[in-house]
Chains A and B, each alone.
Chain A
Amino acid sequence: MGLLNKLDNIESFETGNFVFSTVESLLNWGRLSSIWQMGFGLACCAIEFMAANASNFDMMRFGVIPRPSPRHSDVIIISGTVTLKMATRVKRLYEQMPDPKYVISMGSCSNCGGPYWEHGYHVLKGVDRVIPVDVYVPGCPPRPEALLEGLIRLRDKVRHQSLSKA
């Protein structure tokens, strides 16, 4: 029961097998411990994103499992430059995901256009113009550690979200 001890508002009895919690914190705990991400790479950041998934950084220890379909996934990591042609597809993919859904914007390009902000006539200046973003990870490209930090911030956000207030 080691993990359950980390829940908020929890009480347990020394001798019995009872655990008290609120529905809210139990649900949130479940959600934050198995954030399934959409296996979706856009540009350079996707390589660092792959590195974060691979041996040295091992993102799967946080319960993050790549899924090939948006319909299976909880989080979409926008890893790279979103062009105008791609923006409509990104929006459609986001809309296909079931609620609750989260967005991590990885790298300067998807945060604000990055190095292409001035002369990039075909680059969307920030993915937040198309879909709502929960966590922004800066860097060009961000290191895998930075992405992991972004993920941990997302877990914090999920941990404290309320069922009653949307």
Chain B
Amino acid sequence: MQELVDHPTTEAQVELIRSGKSLRSEEMTINMGPQHPSTHGVFRVELVLDGEQVVDAIPHLGYLHRCFEKHTEAMTYPQVIPYCDRMDYLGAMNNDWGYALAVEQLMGVQVSEKVEYIRVIVGELNRIASHLVGGIGTYGLDVGAFTPFLYCFRDREIILNIFEKLCGARLLYNYVWVGGLSHDIYPTFLDEIESFCGQFRNTIREVNELLTGNKIFTTRTKKVGVITKEVAINYGISGPMLRASGVKWDIRRDDRYSIYDRFDFEIPIGNDNDGALIGDCYNRYWVRMREMEESLRIVEQAVRDCRKTPTLMQGDVQKDVPKRIKPASGEIYSRTETSKGELGFYIISANGTNPYRVKVRPPCFVNLSILPDATRGYYVADLIAIMGSFDFVMGEVDR
């Protein structure tokens, strides 16, 4: 492959452009967003350009600030869950789970095996659905590939149909409750998941054929938006973005919660297929593709366990739901791995039915903070590829 343009990635080189010693044109400030098809919501960036090259990208937030933390203070503990859904609306199950886990730890509630298994299954299915939209479907759209988007949405509908039968909602579920679940599983739940797992590997192969080896796609994503390991750690980014930079860090494995210690799964890190690991857009895309396979493995193992011990799927899912949720005074920080990264909930209880304070550590907000650093020196057209590979959801950034 032809060597891509030597992007000035260091401060010194940017200074060189600015000082006028290199070929230089007038700096131009351009506004991108909040209405832009590729900003994945209402995100606005102020771009300082030198010709086609990005000298600086100044993000402006707050176009979707929906007062989450204010709402939590006015709501009772269970009433907060629907608002958690609406933070990261691509992976609503995982958000519910994170919040429910935090409150359970605060109250010392232990949930039953059955609930844990169902939570793992729906959580991992939701992770697949989220990657299908954010990490792969619309990412292909951003860099000009329309067909994979349609394939991804076709299979996402299967997952959504399962969820809809489970809890009546397609997108925002309010399914994982403190101490249990809102609905029991329906009789053919496991069968449908098995049939989904059987055909989904085929879809992964199709998307690989359409996108992963596509010359146009690789040219637009390889060696673009490089984030080195050190920079990634210093910014505190998490999730697939961190793993794409070569850090094997996954809370499901490194700070275990629920029953993830029972399953055998790998933590994929970025791999360029040529052996080079540089933390570019392609690595981030590839980590998400691999992660879907690993999620599928977890789901398959969980379903197999449920089949092996038929007593596992018996019992009431709301058995452990506390009659009155009123934790004693205290505070808790609990974190889970969502499809975007580390989602943390810091809850302070003042012995009331409402939380005294809930602070969210959203993965998308932290991941987005690296944007100016990651885009500096690249071209405007690359900016779309870079922003798309971050897979951020503005609902979670602004809250």
Contact = CB atoms under 8 A, between A and B. Distances in A.
Interface of A: 39-44, 46-48, 50-51, 54-56, 66, 68, 70, 80-81, 83, 85-86, 89, 93, 115-116, 118-123, 140-141, 143
22 contacts: A43-B42, A43-B64, A43-B86, A44-B86, A47-B90, A50-B153, A51-B157, A54-B153, A55-B151, A83-B63, A83-B66, A85-B63, A86-B63, A89-B34, A89-B35, A89-B63, A115-B83, A119-B67, A119-B70, A120-B71, A121-B67, A140-B172
B63 A143 contact: no
Contacts of B41: 41-43, 46
Contacts of B74: 118-119
A54 B63 contact: no
B395 interface: yes
Nearest to B65: A122
B86 A68 contact: no
B67 A116 contact: yes
B63 A44 contact: no
A46 B133 CA distance: 12
Interface string B155-195: 01100000000000011100000000000000000000000
Contacts of A54: 149-150, 153-154
B62 interface: yes
B37 interface: yes
B82 interface: yes
Given A55-B150, A116-B66, 12 more contacts: A42-B42, A46-B41, A47-B171, A48-B171, A54-B149, A66-B37, A83-B66, A116-B67, A116-B71, A119-B74, A122-B66, A141-B171
A59 B154 CA distance: 14
B37 A44 contact: no
Main secondary structure of the interface of A (DSSP, over half): loop
B89 interface: yes
A83 B171 contact: no
A55 B64 contact: no
Contacts of A41: 41
Contacts of A44: 86, 89, 171-172, 395
B89 A86 contact: no
Interface-central residue, B66, B86, B157, by most chain A CB under 10 Å? B66
B14 to A, nearest CB: 30
A120 B69 CA distance: 10
A108 to B, nearest CB: 11
Contact of A141 (B66, B149, B157, B172): B172
A43 B71 contact: no
Contacts of B133: 47, 50
Given A42-B41, A54-B150, A56-B157, A143 B65 contact: no
B394 interface: yes
B94 to A, nearest CB: 15
B89 A85 contact: no
Contacts of B154: 54-56
Interface string B34-58: 1101000110000000000000000
Contacts of A46: 41
Nearest to A92: B35
A42 B149 contact: no
B35 A51 contact: no
Contacts of A42: 41-42, 64
A83 B64 contact: yes
Nearest to B61: A85
A121 B70 contact: yes
B315 to A, nearest CB: 31
A46 B89 CA distance: 10
Contacts of B171: 44, 47-48, 141
A40 B82 contact: no
Contacts of B64: 42-43, 80-81, 83, 86
Contacts of A80: 64
A121 B67 CA distance: 7
Contacts of B70: 119-121
A33 B63 CA distance: 33
A14 to B, nearest CB: 43
Given A40-B35, A68-B37, A85 B172 contact: no
A43 B138 CA distance: 15
A123 B89 CA distance: 18
B170 A85 contact: no
A86 B34 contact: yes
